[in-house]
Structure 1
């Protein structure tokens, strides 16, 4: 159900969308990374992040505006969600730990929850939604750990697409031609294949219009 349950806050921002399952996976991933950096238990932090919104399979996701008017029995929803699985004690205990925020792992997982929101808001800001700035400021104020604040500061300084677009030589996007230094690196890695530039690929095996020429075999 979590992958069919939308995160409802985006309708107020006007852009962006995700479901609770996507959010939970990203929070678990970030929790693990943050815990490793902070010297906490990464497996425990990831577990807390993975299950932190499990109750929303029953209650749906209530955004900040909804929560002003609607109250849900979150604890009962958690119990019902895991009833009969044999995992009741482990998962409900983890969710209680997450809500109490007393352990380092719980504080990290909660900050990962906010970091996921911040990463998404930065993407919407980069794509032109100026309203995301106010949301970013509020989410930053909710961060409690130094490790999460450091990640947030670094993330906000770069465009969200830099990891895949800004760090690749422009010639790759024109002709899929890598710089010579990068070609040497790829050739040194076993199992990698160099993509030939279009100019090389057109020298053989193609007709005048760029169509592949297939030579028929004679039957013996």
Structure 2
């Protein structure tokens, strides 16, 4: 049980590890754990739109997809040109001695290969989480996010992910709130 508890302490570090790509956007910040939560919400939604997907498998894959960053940190695309993180080594050390370590390694291998439906949906959810942040910042008047949105959309692979990205592009970030505000002016029955 000691090794499992150590693993849990280590994964909780993801709440304090910030994603580094936001420094190029100006505003915005997010921890790896916050990102994982958003990815899981999007993945669950994509699974509802893709009935043939195994929802539990997809969500578990999304849960673990950035766990090695507890040891490596989050490297953005610029940093990856100069720093070679050894994700496999970090993952092996992270999962060493865990009775479910093989499960985590297999899920990450599947995610990285991107061949199964669940891996493609997980990877799309990962990109869509970023796209939602970009759209929100753009709607608030920041120019830099618009430069990146097209590149993010090019990475999408599933019909549901592509359709969702198109809808994100047409929807203002606060439309749900505005509708609630406007609707509150009418009497609820």
Q: Deviations over 1:21-61 (max 9, x none)?
A: 01011112211221221121111111111110110000000
1:63 to 2:46 alignment: no
**Cα contact 2:95–2:102 (8 A) shared by 1:** no
Residue 75 of structure 1 and its aligned partner are, at CA, apart by 0.8
- Partner residue in 1 for 2:4: none
**Cα contact 1:13–1:131 (8 A) shared by 2:** yes
Query: Which of residues 12, 15, 19 in structure 2 aligns to 1:3?
Result: 15
* Stretches of 4+ aligned residues off by more than 2 angstroms: 82-85, 168-172
Q: Give the Cα separation in 1 of the matches to 2:63 and 2:98.
A: 17
State the structure with bigger RCO (CA 8 A, min sep 6), 1 or 2: 2
**Cα contact 2:15–2:34 (8 A) shared by 1:** yes
Q: Deviations over 1:194-219 (max 9, x none)?
A: xxxxxxxxxxxxxxxxxxxxxxxxxx
- What SS class does the counterpart of residue 129 from structure 1 fall into? coil
Q: Give the Cα separation in 1 of the matches to 2:101 and 2:181.
A: 51
| Aligned pairs, number | 176
**1:194-205 alignment, distance < 5 Å:** none
Q: Determine which structure has more spread, i.e. the larger CA radius of gyration.
A: 1
1:90 to 2:90 alignment: no
**Cα contact 1:78–1:92 (8 A) shared by 2:** yes
**Cα contact 1:33–1:42 (8 A) shared by 2:** no
Q: Which moved more, 1:24-33 or 1:121-130?
A: 24-33
Q: Give the Cα separation in 1 of the matches to 2:123 and 2:112.
A: 9
Note the aligned Cα RMSD (angstroms): 1.3
1:33 to 2:42 alignment: no
Q: Give the Cα separation in 2 of the matches to 1:77 and 1:14.
A: 30
State TM-score, norm by structure 1: 0.77
**Cα contact 1:169–1:179 (8 A) shared by 2:** no
Question: Any gaps of 5 or more consecutive residues in structure 1?
Answer: 173-177, 185-220
1:179 to 2:186 alignment: yes
**1:107-186 alignment, distance < 5 Å:** 107-164=120-177, 166-170=178-182, 172=184, 178-180=185-187, 182=188, 184=189
Q: Which moved more, 1:35-44 or 1:94-103?
A: 35-44
Residue 101 of structure 1 and its aligned partner are, at CA, apart by 0.9
**Cα contact 2:134–2:145 (8 A) shared by 1:** yes
